[in-house]
Chain A
Amino acid sequence: MDPSPSLAAPAFDAELIARHDLNGPRYTSYPTAPHFDVLFGEAEYRAAAAASNEEPIPRPLSLYVHLPFCPSPCFYCGCNRVITRNRTEIGAYLVRLEREIALQAALFDRDRQVLQLHMGGGTPNYLDLEQMAALMDALRSGFTFGPESLREFSIEIDPRLTGAGTMAGLARLGFNRASFGVQDFDPAVQEAINRIQGIEETLGVIADARAAGFRSVSVDLIYGLPLQSLEGFARTLEIVIAGRPDRIAVYGYAHLPEVFKAQRQIDPADMPPASTRLALLGLAIDTLRRAGYQYLGMDHFALPQDELAQAQSAGDLQRNFQGYSTHAECDLVGLGVSAIGKVGDCYAANARDLTGYYAAIDAGHLAVMRGHRLTEDDTLRGSIIQALMCSGDLDMQAFSERHGFDFGQRYAAELNRLEPLVSDGLVRIEAGHLRVTPRGRLLVRLVAMAFDAYLARPGEKAPRYSRVI
């Protein structure tokens, strides 16, 4: 297979992007979470977990743990989080979380190793090391951790909440990957988003992580923030690149104040115009490429020796709720409020707010409130979307042979829907392949959307998603 079109750097064409920029899902799952159903609950999840143990070689496990608390609100944030200064609230949550861990762990056979663990938030490192140690103990007593060399245990870090021994302490607890929230170092932007974060302290924490033996370090940036300027963002990129993080994510800020309350604190007058927004993205892509970073897809860049970049070159890159990954074959267990898991052919989502989560756990139940069992059609479309998002190349010929139908016939309407994207040079249909072009890479969500059977088409009411760019 010819990997060149997909691995070429994305071409940045502001006019093209401006013309196609609209809202679309990020496809960390297919179908996406808004389509999960309340008819899928605890009983269905338990059955899925039992069935997953019955496979001849059950999949290893990946754990996602949601820690929703933050000491103060960043105004751009669209995550499920709880702002509190009251640390006893964290303790009350951890009691429930440990109960849920015990209930969930009992569903999975003990010989199924945990190869992946991700702690997301909120701000996971708002927990102190003692609380984190207790949480890791709970996980370790319920689940079997895989051998150290195979583990990818990652945590999202707010550098402002770390102390001298934080990273070393987390490393001792088993974490070997960290992603650091930076967003932008421009003081004006930091004030507008209510996140004041010094350059020295941030770089210091990243250095601590390296010294403590973290194998992979990632930095999150955001473009499209209020008051953001090309000069300021260029400086941020320069500072971050100098630290040589293995991965850099550059997320587009999704301004949806009607959905995310915190965003109402942002003065609409401070929002950069669409042209600036696009120029910021163009700047990031260009700067990162010149600095030697490889584009993985969506918002993600990595140094060529990073394992995600290696996986992409080998065609093994996967996409799941944590973004891009090298482990697709895991069953994903979601723990904590709003966490989403995928076990066997089922997605399962926990209660979205603390009230619902506590009520379920206190009654001795799992907190699964919604979910979805994949149909055969879902599985097929999911694998098409996966191929487009991860390698930018779908072998329609091989797909047809594998599934015993004619791709062009079965997906005639979808291919039709792609026509305008073909005319604009975002995708090419050639030699039995559907290939995302360098021009199309930044708009790959649009290509994927053509295959989404759940999307409301023009004239219908659609769920709200963030903008494509």
Chain B
Amino acid sequence: MTPSPLSLATARPAHKPHAEGDEQHFCTTCAFAGVCLPGGYEKSALAELQCLIEHTDPIQPGRHIFRVNDPFHAVYAVRAGTVKTYVVDDEGREQVLGFFLPGELIGLDAIHPAHYPCNALALDTVTLCRFSFPAIASLAARMPNLQAQLFRLMSKDIAASSLLAGDFSADERLAAFLISLSDRLANRGYSATRVHLVMSRADIANYLRLATETVSRVLRRFQDENLIEVERREVAIRDLPRLKHLARCVLRT
């Protein structure tokens, strides 16, 4: 049920990715950008897909995109900013499910229940592409590449949800968190070694199922061991290979 793997944070772009798509081009960060690359879709099909997309107005930090039990009509792709998904359990405790970066989809877990099973909150200023679900589903029936991409995204989502379930140490969890962030950012053309943690340490701790102070203690030790350097909310990864080695069991790489 969890979203993408150790979903993450945002980063300072190493170079500036194209912010806006147009009729012929997707945003470079788009979750569906891959759809048209291999097949070389006809412009008309691409235009049809583009028609489904609504770019939302910027959502201010601390505002919700949807709340638990809202009826499901659409999935969202993050264009800019970071989204946190969470539920509140019967005891009133918040449980963080994941963090979504540019290029990642939220709302895939709502297809079956037909209502959103979690809350989605903008951690910073967030812009989204909204895909009407009935429309994209019917288009997918006609566009095999689109269908394949949808399946890929859903499968990734399911696989990621079980990653943190193992009996991993705090060191392994945090290393995996940072490496996951780094990988995802690198895939979008951002620096792999500079991560801006927009989520609070309490959110990180909650997501990784660690105590809040453990997060800071482990990060401080990573810093002492020259794995990373932390300045306020900026994390610079100083030793990517060693950190990857620590993360390998969680990420199954």
Contacts and interface: CB of A to CB of B under 8 A. Distances in A.
Interface in B101-147: none
B215 interface: yes
Interface string B201-213: 1101000000011
Interface in A108-142: 109, 111
Contacts of A54: 200-202
Query: Which of B200, B202, B230 gathers the greatest number of chain A CB atoms within 10 Å?
Result: B200
A92 to B, nearest CB: 37
A56 B212 contact: no
A53 B219 CA distance: 15
A57 interface: yes
B46 interface: no
A358 to B, nearest CB: 34
A56 B212 CA distance: 9
A53 B212 CA distance: 10
Nearest to B197: A56
B216 interface: yes
Nearest to B214: A111
A53 B213 CA distance: 11
A376 interface: no
A301 B215 CA distance: 40
Given A56-B233, A57-B230, A111 B216 contact: yes
A430 interface: no
B235 to A, nearest CB: 7
Interface in B202-252: 202, 204, 212-213, 215-216, 219-220, 223, 230, 232-233, 235
A431 B196 CA distance: 34
A56 B216 contact: yes
5 contacts: A53-B201, A56-B215, A56-B216, A57-B219, A57-B230
Contacts of A111: 212-213, 216
A56 B202 contact: no
Interface in A51-70: 53-58
Query: Which of B212, B223, B230 gathers the greatest number of chain A CB atoms within 10 Å?
Result: B212
A57 B212 CA distance: 10
Interface string A44-86: 0000000001111110000000000000000000000000000
A93 to B, nearest CB: 34
B16 to A, nearest CB: 14
A58 B202 CA distance: 11
Given A53-B200, A56-B219, A111-B212, 6 more contacts: A55-B232, A56-B197, A56-B215, A57-B201, A57-B223, A111-B216
Interface of A: 53-58, 109, 111
A61 to B, nearest CB: 14
Interface string B21-40: 00000000000000000000
Contacts of A55: 201, 232-233
A95 B223 CA distance: 42
B181 to A, nearest CB: 12
A56 B213 contact: no
Contact of A57 (B200, B202, B220): B220
Contacts of B233: 55-56
A379 B230 CA distance: 18
Contacts of A109: 212-213
B95 to A, nearest CB: 18
Contacts of A53: 200-202
A54 B9 CA distance: 14
A53 B215 CA distance: 12
Contacts of B232: 55
A55 B231 CA distance: 9
A16 B94 CA distance: 65
A462 B49 CA distance: 62
**Top 6 closest pairs, chain A to chain B, by CB:** A54-B200, A111-B213, A57-B216, A57-B230, A56-B201, A56-B219
A25 B220 CA distance: 36
Nearest to B220: A57
B205 to A, nearest CB: 10
Contacts of B202: 53-54
Nearest to B195: A56
A111 B201 CA distance: 12
A109 B213 CA distance: 9
Contacts of B216: 56-58, 111
Nearest to B204: A56
Interface in B177-213: 197, 200-202, 204, 212-213
A54 B203 CA distance: 9
Query: Which of A54, A55, A56, A111 gathers the greatest number of chain B CB atoms within 10 Å?
Result: A56
B178 to A, nearest CB: 10
Nearest to B178: A56
Contacts of B215: 56
A58 B200 CA distance: 10
A53 B205 CA distance: 13
A58 B216 CA distance: 8
Nearest to B213: A111
B228 to A, nearest CB: 9
A111 B218 CA distance: 13
A54 B212 CA distance: 10
A53 B199 CA distance: 11
A54 B200 CA distance: 4
A66 B239 CA distance: 45
Interface string B71-102: 00000000000000000000000000000000
A56 B235 CA distance: 9
